[in-house]
Amino acid sequence: MRQTLRSVIPAGEIEARLERFQAALTEDALDGALVVQETDLVYLAGTGQSAHLVVPAQGEAALFVRKTLERAREESPLARVEPLRSLKHLPAALASCGLEGGRIGLELDVLPAAAYLGYARRLDGFELDDCSAALRRVRAVKSGWELRQVERAAEMLSHVHEWMARHARVGMTELELAAEIERELRVAGHQGPIRFRAFNNELFYGSVLAGPSGAVPGSTETPIVGPGPNVAVSKGASHRRIERGEPILVDLAGAWEGYLADQTRTFSLGPLPRRLLDAYEAAREILHRVADDAMPGVTGAALYERALELAGDLEGFMGAGDERVSFVGHGFGLEIDELPLLAKGWDEPLEAGMVFALEPKFVFPGVGAVGIENSYLVTGDGAERLTSAPEDLLEL
């Protein structure tokens, strides 16, 4: 018997998102948009099937599906979900939505060059421009429905102390411990992969890093990367065995109905050296004081500068030496690297309805890393904490 699929995202939610996106297109002087990236399709059409979503700045949006049409019609609440078997029919699809020329936006931050050049050949008479800034602005402010999914994702992470007490043992490898925690998350309904928007980035549940692994830098623009299992997957947990008296950093993303939440906690098997304990307490102090300053109208750059001020000349804040990163927090949603950014030069103000993860961490080469991370919702009064696991550094 064929499985019946359901539309997870309510029709009213999709309608409101499209209206906001159309307003953003008009604000950016775009006549419409052609959306093809899977996560953006999920956000605007309610399905991740292979398709082209045509969104005129005014008028009805339509989804033109290559594969699979029947599933897209079951998942998407859009009224117009139609087949598009060949790109030679794309101009006609645009015309059916009232777009026969003008400035049309593409997701140029993620669209492959070959795809862009193919559209340029086929869409003679259109001026191709970028709609990614407009779409990311819209996605940054979460609806009540989205926040309920984020809260479910955050709740998944509230049991990490129980899982660590149950599974962490001296002598097991980081990958073995990660597998136990990942199983707990999977049973709780976690989707597994964590989506990034940034090129060449991916994540699977998160990172479990012990001792020196926590201080191994890598290509990802994050303070904690880890060695990974091999050179092809050179981030996250490794085959290294966990030893007594070293920090274990557990940085996980919860996931519910595609929506994420981000949390980091630090553990140890046996007592840690005093400088690591002091660094952890400094990270927790920075977390609380920066979160207290986060409210509508405050810029991400101001919060980053506040974190630097609080860290002062303490060793290893947000990375060691040249590996130090220029942010202390990031937005999330369907992707883990959404807006807003709490980063150097990020002068956009926070707005009510935004969510962000704040992650002060300290890195000590050859020794390890300690830190803490919570997810927050920006409200009219400040920042409301979403992740609820105990914040104390737990010695197991």
Domain check: are 150 and 134 in the same one? Answer: no
- Same domain flag for 296 and 328: yes
Alpha-carbon span 214 to 233, nearest angstrom: 16
Does 6 reside within a domain?
Answer: no
What CATH number should be reported for the domain holding residue 96? Answer: 3.40.350.10
Instruction: pLDDT band for 1, please (50, 70, 90 cuts).
Output: very low
Using CA atoms, how far apart are residues 234 and 229, in angstroms rounded to an integer? Answer: 7
Q: Read off the pLDDT of residues 204-233 as tens digits, 9 standing for 90 and up.
A: 999 999 999 999 999 999 999 999 999 999
In a domain, 18, yes or no: yes
Which residue among 116, 139, 162 closes a domain? 139
User: What's the domain count of the chain?
Assistant: 2
Residue at 156 is within a domain: yes
159: left (phi over 0), alpha (psi -120 to 50) or beta: alpha
Rounded (5°) CA angle 115-121-124: 130
- In three-state secondary structure terms, 83 is strand
Question: Which residues, at least 6 apart from 43, have a Cβ–Cβ distance to it below 8 Å?
Answer: 17, 135, 139, 334
Kindly state whether residues 308 and 236 are assigned to the same domain: yes
Expressed as residue numbers, the domain containing 363 is 141-395
Q: What is the pLDDT of residues 248-277, one digit of tens each?
A: 999 999 999 999 999 999 999 999 999 999
State which of 139, 155, 175 marks the end of a domain: 139
pLDDT digits (tens, 9 = 90+) for 332-373: 999 999 999 999 999 999 999 999 999 999 999 999 999 999
Q: Which residues of 362-377 are buried (b: 16+ CB within 10 A; e: fewer)?
A: bbbeebbbbbbbbbbb
Mean per-residue pLDDT, 306-324: 97
Q: Residues 259, 356: one domain? A: yes
